[in-house]
Amino acid sequence: MIGAATPVTATPAEEAPDCDAVRCVALTFDDGPGEYTDALLDILAEHDARATFYLLGSRVDDHREEVRRMAEEGHGIGNHTWKHDDLTTLSADRIRDDLARTDRAVAEVTGERPRSMRPPYGALDDTAREAIPHPMMLWDVDTLDWQHRDGDRMREIALDGVRDGSVVLFHDIHETTVEAVPELLDDLAERGYHFVTVSELFGDRLEPGTAYSDARTE
């Protein structure tokens, strides 16, 4: 364990569903925490939904309460590097130092280091793959919310793309994204989906140094 904080104990929540028996999807939010993260956490709590947040280490200290709340409410927390550098432009030593610095920032708040990481831009090369000690989480549904900043378009892309075992990419630094989440959660719930963390979706299948885009086995 890294850092001096006592591990945050999640508040009692509904037991995670068996994703081998029901439809599950992992909603993931990158580049935060930010000014809209707390509102997103309110929305997720109202819908009994868990998500995974891939955090920038440079933002953690300014948003300690939000990060602690993520852990307390049972959400997943992942490493998205210190300040979103393209890892394919860095040496192996710089990659390891960057990820370790971000791990420490998270652990100082939650008491535990992130269980997985997401490379900025999804960019990986042989050097990065060999240097990264975490499971590497990509995605199979990219809502492009950062590009169009249109909540209706974001929902349309997500609804068209989501399948059982999907990992969906959003960015909680955009107000339009957060505002569109409640209706998206309702729509996906009507289709029978359960909202779980990346760790819950994959179970014990995540291996350090391996990249994943979804949890489908076929």
| Residue pLDDT, tens place only, 8-22 | 666 545 678 999 999
Q: pLDDT (tens digit, 9 = 90+) per residue, 129-168? A: 999 999 999 999 999 999 999 999 999 999 999 999 999 9
The CATH code for residues 23-212 is 3.20.20.370
Q: What is the per-residue pLDDT for 208?
A: 94
Q: Which residues are catalytic?
A: 30, 171
Domain boundaries, the chain: 23-212
**Distance between CA 163 and CA 215 in Å, rounded?**
10
Helix, strand, or coil here: 152?
A: helix
Q: What is the mean pLDDT of residues 114-141?
A: 98
**Could you tell me the two tokens for 83?**
């300040």
Q: What is the DSSP letter of 212?
A: E
Amino acid, res. 85? D
The set of residues, in sequence order, having a beta carbon less than 8 Å from that of 40 and lying 6+ positions away, is: 29, 51, 172, 178, 181
DSSP state of 161: H
51 three-state secondary structure: coil
Q: What local confidence, expressed as pLDDT, does residue 123 receive?
A: 98
> Which pLDDT score is estimated for 192?
97
Model pLDDT, residue 3: 47
